[in-house]
Amino acid sequence: MNFIQFITTRVFLRQLLIAIVITSAVVALVLSMLKWYTHHGESVVVPNLVGLNPSQIEQLETIDNFEVIVVDSVFDSRQPSGSVIIQDPVAGSNVKKHRKIYLTTVAVLPEQVSMPDLVDLTLRQASAALETYGLELGNVSYVPDIAANAVLAQFYRNREIAPGTMVLKGSVISLRVGQNAGNGRYQVPFLIGKTRAEAHSLIQENYLLVGEETFEENADPETARVYSQSPSFANGMMLNAGQSVNLVYRDPAVFDFDAYLELMTADTASVDQEDEF
């Protein structure tokens, strides 16, 4: 019997039919199990977890549909400790059941950083270094010294701090800076309309200190701009190194600083013209 005759026999055809039926059944069973395992065609909406703490998350009715994993924590003094500030996937996303939600929460304590060595740096370099390390520049005092504008010592909580000492991120570091004894008076900078960071930088560049700060209308320090300063700016208005400049801030979202600056410019020009006569 040759091959052609064999594949046309009833025995072969019966076995072939049985094999096809079994194969089809196995494939259908596997696809059905995959559909059940992967929840094909089923989806749930990701809840909004931002701002919630772990106990509040556990009380959500739909949280059993997800696996919640905390992957990171960052310190933010403006947010409650332990609360969620970032989630992935974002709220409102349609995902399959038992999808993992990755959370970033607010740390209970800020992380620690190593205190940099600021001695012999200029004040501007030291300020930039502190910002890089997540530290804040506090009081700057000036003493007569041949190393004018160079950092002579660094302090934390009124005590000198050595480089490499671990401190909490966000700590305030004060500096002692050298001053040329023969040139101890500096021009008061024009600060109106400047952001807080810009105002601080200009004050420090002129060897002055930031005095009392007032935020009107609950202005956010990150976006607020200077509305008034004391002493006010005037050509020839000089202060001794280390004297303070007080600042009042307003929210640029509710106050028109462009119009305010134009009005101030016009007033200044008017006064200059009167002086000429």
Residues 12-61 pLDDT 10s = 778 888 888 899 888 888 877 777 666 555 678 999 999 999 889 999 98
Where are the chain's structural domains? 44-106, 110-183, 185-272
Per-residue pLDDT, averaged over 113-121, amounts to 95
44-106 and 185-272: same fold?
Answer: yes
Confirm if 150 and 117 have CB atoms less than 8 A apart: no
Residues 85-114 pLDDT 10s = 999 999 988 888 888 999 999 887 778 899
Global confidence as pTM: 0.44
Confirm if 90 and 124 have CB atoms less than 8 A apart: no
DSSP string for residues in 203-248: HHHTT-EEEEEEEGGG--TTT-EEEEEESPP-TT-EEETT-EEEEE
What is the third-level CATH fold of 110-183? Trypsin Inhibitor V; Chain A (3.30.10)
Stretch (H or E) spanning 13: helix 10-38
CB neighbourhood size of 152 (10 A): 17
- Whole-number Å distance between alpha carbons of 263 and 252: 16
- Return the ∠ at Cα 54 (arms to 50 and 60), rounded to 5°: 75
User: Residue for token digits 């600056």?
Assistant: 261
185-272 maps to CATH 3.30.10.20: yes
Residues 172-215 pLDDT 10s = 999 998 876 555 678 899 999 999 999 998 987 887 888 899 99
Q: Tokens for 22?
A: 């079994």
End-to-end CA distance of the chain: 129
Strands (E), 107-156: 112-114, 136-144, 151-156
How do beta strands 151-156 and 159-160 pair?
Answer: antiparallel
| DSSP category for residue 192 | T
What residues pair up with 102 in beta bridges, in sequence order? 69, 88
Confirm if 255 and 219 have CB atoms less than 8 A apart: no
User: Rounded to 10 degrees, what is the CA torsion of 267, 269, 274, 277?
Assistant: 180
44-106 CATH pick, 3.40.50.300, 3.40.50.1100, 3.30.10.20, 3.40.50.620:
3.30.10.20
